[in-house]
Structure 1
Amino acid sequence: MNSQDVLFRVPVRVRLQCGLERTFLSVYDALDLLEHEWPLRHGGRYKRAVETCRGALSWLVPSEVAREAFIAACLEAGMPLVQVGPVSKHSTAPKLLQVS
């Protein structure tokens, strides 16, 4: 984590296209994925996520706006969120959140 980093209030856990799950605690972590490991370097949600993450690191954009933009870009790229929290009695696997 960068010393100038901005933490998310709630971490974002994503299932990457390779099947691995990864948790993002901060704006810097999200921007690093967007700029260096992103599978689709196009799309409106991708561009907005990069812009808002950069803005949040400069304290011009609230971290939660950057978080929401990052989530939207993940869904646009086919990387569902993994809901971490209480697991029901009938399920042992984390739930995936995905936009249709």
Structure 2
Amino acid sequence: MISASGATAISDHSAFWKKSIWIELDTGERLVLRSPQDALYALVSDWPINGGVHQQRAIDFCRAWLAGRMPAETVRQAFILAALEAGVAINDDDDDGNGTPSSVSNPGHK
């Protein structure tokens, strides 16, 4: 895809992450996130706390990805930081999602 300025925009081949992220919410619901679009939905609709610095940054990165200004893998890293901040149980290293999500916590947050 070529933008009006002639620069190549980030196209659909970047839409999905190389590895999915599994998260488990406080409600016990387990979600698999495969793309920045999935991450944006989780951050806005299902996130256990609102107003975190990393949550807002991840939302901004997701929106930048939607506008073609941010690589999907950069958004993935921002989402992982948001999960750390919120203490969301996350598993980002099991491709098939059959493993148990590891509990991730923010070391500076008790």
Post-superposition Cα deviations, 1:44-66, rounded to whole Å, max 9, x if no partner, equal 10110000011111110111110
Q: SS where residue 61 of structure 1 aligns?
A: coil
Aligned to 2:16: 7
Match of 2:81 in 1: 72
Q: Specify the code of the residue in structure 1 equivalent to 2:20.
A: P
Aligned to 2:9: none
Q: Would you say the 8 A contact 1:45–1:72 is kept in 2?
A: yes
- Whose Rg is larger? 2
- Give the counterpart of 1:94 among 89, 96, 100: 100
Q: TM-score, normalization: structure 2?
A: 0.71
With structure 1 as the length reference, what TM-score do the two structures score? 0.77
Q: Which amino acid is the alignment partner of residue 94 of structure 2?
A: V
Indicate conservation of the 8 Å contact 1:24/1:30, yes or no.
yes
Tell me by how many angstroms 1:39 deviates: 2.0
Structure with more of its chain in strand, by fraction: 1
Inter-partner Cα distance in structure 2 for 1:12 and 1:35: 16
Match of 2:94 in 1: 84
Gaps of 5+ in 1: 87-91
Residue 95 (structure 1) shift: 5.0
Displaced runs of 4 or more, over 4 A: none
Is the Cα contact below 8 Å between 1:17 and 1:78 reproduced in 2?
A: no
Q: Which residue of 2 aligns with 1:21?
A: 30
CA distance in 1, matches of 2:102, 2:75: 21
Instruction: Tell me if structure 2 keeps the 8 A contact 1:49–1:69.
Output: yes
